[in-house]
Amino acid sequence: EVQLVESGGGLVQPGGSLRLSCAVSEFTVSSNYISWVRQAPGKGLEWVSVIFSDGSTYYADSVKGRLTISRDISKNTVYLQMNSLRAEDTALYYCARAGTVGVRAFDIWGQGTMVTVSS
């Protein structure tokens, strides 16, 4: 079954760090675009970052310099390293596949992993 499974969320203090993982099944991270999208409690969706099949990466201005997306092709997994976390980073973080169905459309989503930044 084609799926993405996130893990690594939790409670962290402001200024702290966390690494999220997105394990991919039935397709390869090396041939697809994988994005992170977050949703603060009771709010809409916000695009965070994307890693393209060629390994290039892009970020939302709100996270640039603090969050880093990467991948391990051997593990077929995408990561989001989160540093210098702020209260406003509190959200459910989804990984999603993009670029397979249409332009800039996310056709497969994980179930999400919750990140709470609080003292």
> Using CB under 8 A, which of 41, 56, 61, 74 touches another protein?
61
Euclidean distance between CA atoms 38 and 95, whole angstroms: 8
> For residue 26, what are the CA distances in angstroms to 18, 31, 56, 77, 84?
27, 12, 22, 12, 34
Q: Which is nearer to another protein, 47 or 79 (CB)?
A: 47
Contacting residue, 35, 82, 93, 113, with another protein by CB under 8 A? 35
Beta bridge partners of 22: 6, 78
In sign, the C-alpha dihedral spanning 70, 72, 78, 79 is negative
Span of 11-19, 20-28, 39-47, 70-78 interacting with another protein by CB under 8 A: 39-47
The answer to the question of residue 77 lying near another protein (CB under 8 A) is: no
Residue ranges in contact with another protein by CB under 8 A:
35, 43-47, 50, 58, 60-61, 94, 96, 98, 101-107, 109-112
